[in-house]
């Protein structure tokens, strides 16, 4: 969850338009991992994160799992890219199987069918053969599988440094400029 929250912060800071989709499980995970109460309704979450990260009016839109009329649910209004961060193996399996039982899965399906960038940050380990086969299936369909494995060549000193490493890699794939980490071979 810290990766997803930091990614949201950085995208908003960079002036990007963000459609945030989250599940009820995200509320549990936010409480467990960050001791943070994620607002229950999409509108409350939109107001909270907009205030927290100083979003411009309309820059952030938040949708719940069952909001089937969200723009990202249709190929006629696809997002430029989608990141599922973090992504459970259940959600990953549903996407790999082409199932769309909620808005997150449907938006991922739209990203794939419209040949848009889809980045999945799996949250579980170790991976079973089934997990790996699902990831391979998605990778073959063009998905970037980006496990939250921070590097250590930049000599992280805090947990935030390790979170920033992973978020920096996501931002790199999205083509969003950042200064979260020192790049390989660059002066420290």
- Contact indicator for 8, 20 with CB cutoff of 8 Å: yes
- Judge whether 169 is annotated as a binding position: yes
Query: Chain-centre distance of CA 8, in angstroms?
Result: 8
Gyration radius from the chain CA atoms: 16
- Does the annotation place 91 within a ligand binding site? yes
Residue 23 marked ligand-binding: yes
First to last CA, the chain: 28
**Angstrom distance (rounded) from CA 81 to CA 37:** 27
Beta strand residue intervals within the chain, DSSP E = 18-22, 60-64, 81-87, 117-122, 144-145
> Would you say 90 is a known binding-site residue?
yes
41 is in an annotated binding site: no
Q: Is 89 annotated as a binding residue?
A: yes
The reply, when asked if residue 188 is annotated as ligand binding, is no
Q: What is the DSSP-derived secondary structure letter of residue 71?
A: G
Return left, alpha or beta for 29; rule: phi > 0 is left, psi -120 to 50 is alpha, else beta.
alpha
Q: Kindly state the helix (H) or strand (E) to which residue 165 belongs, with its residue range.
A: helix 159-174
Ligand-binding site membership of 182 (annotated): no
Per the annotation, where are the binding residues for dimethylallyl phosphate?
Answer: 153, 169
Per the annotation, where are the binding residues?
Answer: 23, 88-91, 123, 153, 169
Per the annotation, where are the binding residues for FMN?
Answer: 23, 88-91, 123
């Amino acid at each position: 969850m810290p990766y997803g929250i930091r990614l949201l912060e950085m995208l908003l800071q960079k002036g990007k338009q963000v459609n945030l989709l989250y599940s009820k499980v995200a509320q549990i995970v936010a409480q467990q991992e960050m001791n943070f109460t994620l607002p229950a309704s999409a509108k409350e979450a939109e107001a909270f994160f907009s205030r927290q990260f100083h979003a411009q009016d309309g820059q952030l839109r938040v949708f719940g799992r069952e909001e089937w009329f969200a723009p990202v649910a249709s190929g006629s209004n696809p997002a430029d890219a989608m990141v599922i961060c973090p992504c459970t193996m259940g959600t990953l399996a549903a996407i790999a199987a082409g199932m769309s039982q909620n808005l997150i899965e449907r938006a991922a399906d739209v990203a794939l069918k419209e040949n848009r960038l889809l980045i999945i940050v799996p949250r579980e380990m170790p991976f079973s053969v089934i997990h790996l086969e699902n990831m391979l299936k998605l990778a073959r369909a063009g998905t970037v599988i980006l496990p939250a494995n921070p590097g250590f060549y930049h000599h992280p000193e805090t947990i935030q440094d390790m979170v920033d490493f992973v978020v920096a890699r996501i931002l790199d794939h999205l083509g969003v400029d950042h200064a979260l980490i020192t790049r390989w071979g660059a002066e420290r």
